[in-house]
Structure 1
Amino acid sequence: MLTPISRREWLTRTGCGFGGLALAGLAAADAGRANPLAPKAPLFPARAKRVIFLFMQGGVSHVDSFDYKPRLDKDDGKQLSFDDARVIANSGARGSSQRVMKPLWKFAKHGQSGRWASDLFPETNRHVDDLCFVHSMHTEGVAHGPATLFLHCGSTTFVRPSMGSWVLYGLGSENENLPGFVSIAPSAGNGGARNYGPAFLPAVYQGTGLGHAGGPASEATIHNLAGAQSPEAQAARFDLLRDLHAEQLKRTPGNSELEAVANSYELAWRMQHNAPGVLDLAKESAETQKLYGIGEKATDNFGRQCLMARRLCEAGVRYVQVTYGDNTANPAWDQHSNLPKHGDHARAVDKPIAGLLADLKRRGLLEDTIVWWGGEFGRTPYAEKNGTGRDHNPGGFTVWLAGGGFQRGFAHGATDEFGHLAVQDKVHMHDLHATILHQLGLDHEKLTYRYAGRDFRLTDVHGRVVKELFV
């Protein structure tokens, strides 16, 4: 005999924390509702089906990693005039005096392509012939909050849908038993849930957060998947709840938030039998786990998250973000006064990232998966306040892309001789968004949603597809 419980108690026990996200599934179809996350054909032939975004929260120093500038060694220690973004933002003054600081890591050419890279990321450097570097990035926002929101949502201040939500809206999901958009270890700061939220898009396109930035990989999971009741008891409870939701939807047709809540329960029900297997890294061979650095103190945590990303993509998740960061006011890569700390962070992510690239490639997944690596901005080529760190630099920095039809062993654009500002073949963050959407078969100018009397899109009224990056 079943013991009656309230809906609130049922939610507390089995709700899984999906709040505003959902997938419309078999039960929804039975109830006569359309499935907003059914797979959709791209607008034109796509080179990629999915994205893994490796978010280096805080801003990696490009001039210490992938953007080689010999002038920094030559002028190390000199006081020179630069247009500092933070000074301009605070006072409008240009031409502030700054002390040039040389790279702390040694640069060399790597791979058959001869790409320059420092020994900050030695394992990733082994894969430069698979990488497409964009050295001329520039963006909006000199502080972490605005720049992070712009990276994810295309706006520094307004509440706008995140890129993963736009991709899910445009293409739907490949697996009705898993979320179509997952953010592994997202940060609670600098925009928080807005960075994987749907804003005014229907709540069904909300991303699913697993764990939190800086937390152990064991927490980057979906909790409460296995109930204590028998399968029969669980089924009976779910059928009752589904009937209640169906009745509510009849009374308030078109209520997208209620539909999302109903669909989230249905997704949670289907996930009971599917998600545990996808998230079980123990099913991977010892060789594969070693490839990601699992079992090694420095790399175990991020290695598990990268392997989880591969398994989720392999299972049909459309957009996966993996954040390397923390929940503090100054995120991981934010070395204002202690740039050598970059070395500790690099050791934590380098082998897992290289392992992910190798694993995707050998499984044939890299061909139709975009791997995107980067932060919200770069760092200055001069010391902050004449100290031992570098300040934020939205005016010029580097990201790299792999797979999904992007050129391999290729470098596009350039910053000036100091690595300060993008000057050649400049690529704005709006352009990068448009370019990634294009490889997924989506036209950034046509991927729109009408809200408050106007059509919105990820790139607002800007953005161009950087076709020079394509094979």
Structure 2
Amino acid sequence: MWTNNATSRRQLLKSSALGFGNLALLGLLDQEARASSRDTRNPLAPKPPQFPAKAKRVIFVFLHGGPSQVDTFDPKPLLTRDHGKPFPGQIPRIVSSPTGNLLKSPWQFKHYGQSGIEVSDLFPHLGGCVDDLCFINSMHGSNSRHGGALLELHTGSDTFVRPSMGSWVTYGLGTENQNLPGFLTICPTLTHGGVNNWSSAFLPAWTQGTPIGNASIDAAQAKIPFIQNTETPSEAQKLELELLGQLGREHLAHTGPDPALEGRLSSFELAFRMQLAAPELQEITGESEATKKLYGMDDPKTRSFGHQCLLARRFSEKGVRFVQVTHSYKWDQHGDLRKDHASNAAEVDKPIAGLLKDLKARGLLKDTLVVIGGEFGRTPVAQGDDGRDHNPHGFTLLLAGGGVKTGFRYGATDDYGFYAVQDKCHVHDFHATMLHLMGIDHKKLTYFYGGRNYRLTDVHGEIATGIIA
């Protein structure tokens, strides 16, 4: 007689329950072991990438307000031909206000370099660098408002407070200079999210961006605050820190891990070390006149932003993992496009080109990823007589160094520059690609918070392999 010896589902679960529990326990212990493997005495210590990296550091040049792609790096002959006519496609509903007919660019585009890439007359100096640049012409985002778009570009979320990309990079890789923060932001904007754009949010405090000045301060006057203690001698400070550290370690020995306390202790120790390293790096008097001129510091128009870019090179050269400079808040041309875009470009064109040339001459560009762009682009249709509205559906980011293809265009917008249509690259895809170039799998750089694992790209993001050299 045939006998059914099959195990029922209830019996299987009953007999294997301890096995499932053991697997879960092993997973938790593995996470705990990984967390404890971090040097809590020095959390900023450099950490190896997850796989061979093409870039060691990032410089992010942020053009706050939304530069117009069709007036800068994305030429559209049909826009010129059909100037004054209605846009033949569907205008998105989330554009912030009523729009008019197609508006041609007031500027001409020219071919530059061996690659022959076209760049607007607004950027002749950057035009001379096209053979070192990768143009992502198919960027798109999810939010047409400055606040949401800034947060999305900086943190990956346009609705919630999340850690910034600089904080994620610092969390994953630490920094190469233990006397400086891993993440610096020079003259950052205080609007449209403000500190949330360089915040560590729920990541450890030591990943927070350290601001140098703010957008309302001339770059020459921007300094790391409270960097020098004129009241207490350094030897006395050292003794105070040693006692504080001893008390903190004794407390932790009784209570167990306390990220907040550990973060405070490490920040105190870093602040002490910065007193020697940071003032020297902020002082540019030792730079040659030729170098200063390269950044446009001999011209009142370019001096301030040139100072920012020069500081970015100096800090990156000394091992800071992520440096941001901000041209804020000038690119939001709902009107006066001709006057204001021309003025804005004149302030940043030479300094950015100078940064690229200086990095290349020093052998730093090959492993420094330079990112240049704003939170979105502008519409190809007019707003008023001489303006363009916000457009998150198709805009341009420029990349250089760090393992990207050079003299190369990636993706495309439609014939008028409204929508990304070819090799579309969402902000999440850019973040995934940036982390990949840094040797990090964006799906594996996670942090457990509020009951689940978070990452910079959350549940999104595909690597734009087409831009990788």
Q: TM-score, structure 1 length as denominator?
A: 0.88
SS in 1 for 2:409: strand
When structure 1 is superposed on structure 2, of 135-144 and 255-264 the one drifting more is: 255-264
For 1:313, the aligned partner's letter is S
Q: What whole-Å deviation, never above 9, does each CA across 1:160-207 have from its counterpart, x for those lacking one?
A: 111011111111111111000111111111111111111111222111
Structure 1 segment 382-461 matched on structure 2, within 5 A: 382-384=381-383, 386-461=384-459
Matching residue of 2:298: 295
Partners of 2:453 and 2:234 lie apart in 1 by 46
When structure 1 is superposed on structure 2, of 316-325 and 98-107 the one drifting more is: 98-107
Alpha-carbon contact 1:50-1:369 (below 8 Å) kept: yes
Structure 1 segment 68-467 matched on structure 2, within 5 A: 68-85=75-92, 87-88=93-94, 98-228=100-230, 229-250=232-253, 252-325=255-328, 331-340=329-338, 341-384=340-383, 386-467=384-465
RMSD across aligned C-alpha pairs, in angstroms? 1.9
For 1:176, the aligned partner's letter is Q
SS in 1 for 2:276: coil
SS in 1 for 2:100: strand
Alpha-carbon contact 1:379-1:397 (below 8 Å) kept: yes
Q: 1:84 to 1:251 in 2, by over 3 A?
A: farther
SS in 2 for 1:179: coil
For 1:118, the aligned partner's letter is S
When structure 1 is superposed on structure 2, of 243-252 and 265-274 the one drifting more is: 243-252
Deviation at 1:394, TM superposition (A): 0.3
Deviation at 1:240, TM superposition (A): 4.2
Alpha-carbon contact 1:79-1:97 (below 8 Å) kept: no
Structure 2 unaligned regions, length at least 5: 1-38
Alpha-carbon contact 1:177-1:274 (below 8 Å) kept: yes
Partners of 1:125 and 1:43 lie apart in 2 by 35
Alpha-carbon contact 2:126-2:349 (below 8 Å) kept: yes
Q: 1:89 to 1:408 in 2, by over 3 A?
A: closer
For 1:466, the aligned partner's letter is A
Partners of 2:225 and 2:95 lie apart in 1 by 43
Q: What whole-Å deviation, never above 9, does each CA across 1:189-242 have from its counterpart, x for those lacking one?
A: 111111111111122211111111142113322133232243333334444444
Q: 1:33 to 1:415 in 2, by over 3 A?
A: closer
Partners of 1:239 and 1:296 lie apart in 2 by 47
Q: How many residues matched?
A: 430
Matching residue of 2:72: 65
Partners of 1:230 and 1:269 lie apart in 2 by 11
SS in 1 for 2:184: strand
SS in 2 for 1:379: strand
For 1:231, the aligned partner's letter is S
Alpha-carbon contact 1:337-1:387 (below 8 Å) kept: yes
Alpha-carbon contact 2:99-2:381 (below 8 Å) kept: no
Partners of 1:247 and 1:218 lie apart in 2 by 43
For 1:393, the aligned partner's letter is N
Deviation at 1:321, TM superposition (A): 0.7
For 2:279, the aligned partner's letter is P
Deviation at 1:453, TM superposition (A): 1.7
For 2:58, the aligned partner's letter is V
Partners of 1:109 and 1:66 lie apart in 2 by 11
Alpha-carbon contact 1:81-1:98 (below 8 Å) kept: no
Q: What whole-Å deviation, never above 9, does each CA across 1:302-333 have from its counterpart, x for those lacking one?
A: 001100000100100000111110xxxxx310
Partners of 2:87 and 2:50 lie apart in 1 by 50
Partners of 1:257 and 1:387 lie apart in 2 by 54
For 1:106, the aligned partner's letter is Q
Partners of 1:253 and 1:435 lie apart in 2 by 37
Matching residue of 2:16: none
Q: 1:251 to 1:84 in 2, by over 3 A?
A: farther
Alpha-carbon contact 2:412-2:420 (below 8 Å) kept: yes
Deviation at 1:75, TM superposition (A): 1.1
Q: What whole-Å deviation, never above 9, does each CA across 1:120-169 have from its counterpart, x for those lacking one?
A: 01111100000000111111100000010000111111121110111111
Deviation at 1:35, TM superposition (A): 2.9
Q: 1:441 to 1:254 in 2, by over 3 A?
A: same
Partners of 2:293 and 2:66 lie apart in 1 by 28
Partners of 1:47 and 1:70 lie apart in 2 by 36
When structure 1 is superposed on structure 2, of 427-436 and 258-267 the one drifting more is: 258-267
Deviation at 1:250, TM superposition (A): 4.7
Q: What whole-Å deviation, never above 9, does each CA across 1:280-301 have from its counterpart, x for those lacking one?
A: 1111111111110113100110
Identity %: 54
Deviation at 1:82, TM superposition (A): 4.5
Deviation at 1:69, TM superposition (A): 0.2
Q: 1:82 to 1:338 in 2, by over 3 A?
A: farther
For 2:446, the aligned partner's letter is T
Partners of 1:446 and 1:302 lie apart in 2 by 36
Alpha-carbon contact 2:186-2:325 (below 8 Å) kept: yes
Partners of 1:214 and 1:111 lie apart in 2 by 37
Q: 1:254 to 1:411 in 2, by over 3 A?
A: same
Partners of 2:234 and 2:264 lie apart in 1 by 22
For 2:172, the aligned partner's letter is G
Alpha-carbon contact 2:212-2:225 (below 8 Å) kept: no
Q: 1:97 to 1:145 in 2, by over 3 A?
A: closer
Partners of 1:398 and 1:120 lie apart in 2 by 15
SS in 1 for 2:87: strand
Alpha-carbon contact 1:299-1:347 (below 8 Å) kept: yes
Partners of 2:40 and 2:47 lie apart in 1 by 17
Deviation at 1:80, TM superposition (A): 3.2
Alpha-carbon contact 2:380-2:388 (below 8 Å) kept: yes
Alpha-carbon contact 2:212-2:222 (below 8 Å) kept: yes
For 1:323, the aligned partner's letter is T
